[in-house]
Chain A
Amino acid sequence: MSIMKLLSIAAKAKVVTRRYPFEPPVVTEGFRGKIEVDPKLCWGCGVCTRICPPNALTLKKREDGTLVLSYFMGRCIFCGMCAEVCPRGAITVTKEFELASLTAEDLVRDVKHDVVRCRICGRVIGPTVEIREATKSVGGAEAKYYDLCPECRKLVVARGIMTKVGVRP
């Protein structure tokens, strides 16, 4: 009896298993997969690394002073919080999920940032893109000090004023 009923249910349902990977899987428009960071937009500010729940995004400072925003998919939980907080809109959440690989290195994406050093004392001021963008928005007289650290900038400005008023520094 029940066998007959089950057969009728099965006949109605037909085959539902997809022949993945020969057929595409069902991925809805709401799906969140791995993220991509646009190196042209990213500032290296690190806001995304602070919100990332599993620390899949990290900002590392190399010995040569350069900054690296490193994304490790092996830890990523695909929450998309980073994309929500990035002030530059540099992060896109893709629908990609077929990330399996034989080596862990394949799961790392690095965005390298050159840094601007102070032209007088040589200290690292910040990521090049960030400084450049910030300078653009400030413009004018400030812009010419873009490659000075705050301390050296104070000195230079003070010296300038003193020269103007005729006091020898």
Chain B
Amino acid sequence: MGEQGRYLPECPEMSEVVRKLTEEYGGHVIFSRESEVYIEVPRHELKDVAKYLYSSGAFLKTCAAVDERPLNRSFALYHIFGMDSKGYDVIVKVSAPEDDAWVPSTVDVVPAADWCELEARDMVGIELKGRRLVRRLVLPEDWPEDIHPLRKEVPHDFRPPSVKAESEFRPPERGIPIGPYHPVLHEPEYFELLVEGETVVDVYYRGFHVHRGIEKLGESPRFTYQKIPFLAERICGICGFVHSTCAIMAMEKAAGIRPPERAEFIRTIVLELERIHSHLLWVGVAAHVLGYDAGFMHTWRVREPVMILSELITGSRKTYGLNLVGGVRRDIDKDKMEKIMKTLDRVEKEFKELANLLVSVPQIRRRAQGTGVLTRSEARALSVVGPVARASGLYRDVRKDYPYLAYKEASFKVPLYTEGDNLARVLVRVEEVFESISIIKQLLDKLPGGPIMHEKCSAIIPVDELIPPGKYAVAAIEAPRGEDVHFLMTGEGRPYRWRVRAPTYQNIPALRPMLRGDPLADAPLTIASIDPCFSCTDRALVIDVRTGRARTIKLWDGGVGTCRL
């Protein structure tokens, strides 16, 4: 690694963490850059390190398993800890030799590590020591035991024959299924709610039905750095620009280039436009879930001009295709600026009127207030993100915590509520729409001149040479649903490993504490309240059985995943 052993001493907190990890836990710095430090620690120290970091204010962004056998005959697991309040990431690496492939589980001390550990086991085949409940998360039941798709010897287009597995899934007697298609969100998911009378006592989730192997594809010879933004954009049909920008930010970090200022402004403007359309879409869907279809239709009517505007600026209503490594492909001229201003004024005025009406409808208030409560400590333990976190009093916003692109240039509020209920999540999103409108207006006012593409980059120049192999990068963006994280390890001409952690991945486990104890009738609204994006997450699950009861209902053989709180 290039900057071996170096770290930036100017950030005192960071130096303190580095000192502690290297001196007390036997770690060594493998790579660092401004706001990121990568430290390898011996695997037996992982749990203590995780405990130390988590208790000193870090959130777990995710963990990423990498098959590094071709490089050093071992498997590696990278835990990405985000020091939100300080604005830097500590990436803790542990290695496991290929013939002894295990790492200690950290779920006991970092509940948020539940899913990503199971994913590491499924996809790379790293065993987790000390975990009470181990099960499959991503791979389907009929997938052969010994094939781990993200191992390097498995070709990207490999389709193993289905093995006859006795179904891992056993519906409990009292379960009420919601799925396999969500009745309102029209995406594949499977929830099983355990009820006593009308009260939900437990929740199970099984997802990942639409896992498309995008990470593997990105590593395959079929793709190059130049094409990956277009692939990344297809991870999500709502916040695709977030993913394309996030993947690009990771690549640009690895290449050591910064796009021109004007390009950064344009990306920020489009990201905020995407948040507006996404939140409006969600407010409409929430109204629909509550049976208030007039509210749904009017919200979507108000949203439509934003879609048309996106098409005008980028070329497409969705999957904009605007981003390239080094900048953006289309400029915003005077005429377009005027159209953006005009549309935003209109949306602001119309949505204000509509939102005031929606939140004052007594039926809506009754259904949303006090239901689906997620407490602050639950939210903290699970490292939940986005509006879900901010409705539970957790101040987390990547735009403020790790200012990227042009967010420093705009002043904006981060709406914060402490109730943690469905109403709070509605209100956070409604307010965010107005903040986003204000951000775009401020940025348009300040839009700097100059080029929109870095001089070393263009559609014609292959960027592959700019991105040397053996580099690491972590990029994060505040998507409409919360923090989106991309972890990149560069290879020859394409990623060696590209890990995408969408916001919903982090928020679904929070549904269990939200749903338990609530009336069944509120469940659809609560599920919708996290604004779940299943396709994103599946690039999903079961939430565990409550074992405290006299009668334990097992949904999965061998137990289910845990999110112990």
Contacts and interface: CB of A to CB of B under 8 A. Distances in A.
A and B form one complex: yes
A105 B354 CA distance: 47
A36 interface: no
A134 B353 CA distance: 65
A35 to B, nearest CB: 12
Contacts of A2: 357, 360-362
B200 interface: no
A30 B298 contact: no
A5 B355 CA distance: 12
Given A13-B301, A53-B231, A84 B459 contact: yes
B353 A9 contact: yes
B126 to A, nearest CB: 32
Interface string A45-69: 0000001011100000000000000
Contact of B315 (A9, A30, A55): A30
A10 B314 CA distance: 31
Contacts of A16: 301, 304
A85 B459 contact: yes
Interface stretch (B145-153, B175-183, B305-313): B305-313
Given A31-B316, A51-B226, A79-B321, A9 B357 contact: yes
A23 interface: no
A28 B312 contact: yes
B311 A30 contact: yes
B311 A28 contact: yes
A13 to B, nearest CB: 6
Nearest to A81: B459
A26 interface: yes
A32 B308 contact: no
B460 A84 contact: yes
Contacts of A29: 312
Given A30-B313, A31-B316, A32-B316, A53 B227 contact: yes
A6 B298 contact: yes
Interface in A5-41: 5-6, 9-10, 13, 16, 26, 28-32
Contacts of B314: 30
Interface string B354-366: 1001001110000
Chain B, interface residues (CB within 8 Å), range: 20 to 34
Which among A53, A54, A55 has the highest number of chain B CB atoms within 10 Å? A53
Contact of A32 (B230, B298, B304, B315): B315
Contact of A26 (B230, B308, B313, B315): B308
A77 interface: yes
A53 B233 CA distance: 11
B268 interface: no
A9 B354 contact: yes
Which among B231, B295, B316, B354 has the highest number of chain A CB atoms within 10 Å? B316
A89 to B, nearest CB: 13
B22 to A, nearest CB: 42
B163 interface: no
A6 B357 contact: yes
Interface string B206-248: 0000000000000000100011001100100000000000000
B529 interface: no
Chain A, interface residues (CB within 8 Å), range: 20 to 34
B227 A6 contact: no
B298 A13 contact: yes
Interface in B295-330: 295, 298, 301, 304, 308, 311-316, 319, 321, 329-330
B550 interface: no
B1 interface: no
Interface string B450-484: 00000000011000000000000000000000000
B294 interface: yes
B27 to A, nearest CB: 40
Given A53-B227, A79-B230, A5 B321 contact: no
Nearest to A87: B460
B315 A5 contact: no
A78 interface: yes
A77 B321 contact: yes
Nearest to B460: A85
B70 to A, nearest CB: 26
Interface string A66-104: 000000000001111100110000000000000000000
B357 A77 contact: no
Contacts of B222: 55
Interface in B261-316: 294-295, 298, 301, 304, 308, 311-316
Nearest to A5: B357
A79 B294 CA distance: 36
Contact of B312 (A5, A30, A51): A30
Contacts of A53: 227, 230-231
Given A51-B459, A77-B230, A84-B459, A31 B315 contact: yes
Contacts of B294: 6, 10
A5 B313 CA distance: 34
A49 to B, nearest CB: 12
Contact of B321 (A6, A10, A28, A32): A32
Nearest to A86: B460
Nearest to B307: A26
Contacts of A84: 329, 459-460
Given A32-B316, A80-B321, A10 B230 contact: no
Contacts of B234: 77
Nearest to A2: B361
A130 to B, nearest CB: 18
Contacts of B354: 9
Nearest to A78: B316
B8 to A, nearest CB: 37
14 contacts: A9-B354, A9-B357, A10-B294, A16-B304, A28-B312, A30-B313, A30-B315, A30-B330, A51-B227, A51-B459, A54-B230, A78-B315, A78-B321, A85-B460
Interface of A: 2, 5-6, 9-10, 13, 16, 26, 28-32, 51, 53-55, 77-81, 84-85
Can you list the 3 inter-chain pairs with the closest CB atoms, starting with the nearest? A53-B230, A79-B321, A32-B315
Given A28-B308, A32-B321, A51-B226, 13 more contacts: A2-B361, A5-B357, A6-B357, A9-B354, A30-B315, A30-B330, A31-B311, A32-B316, A51-B227, A51-B459, A77-B321, A80-B321, A81-B230
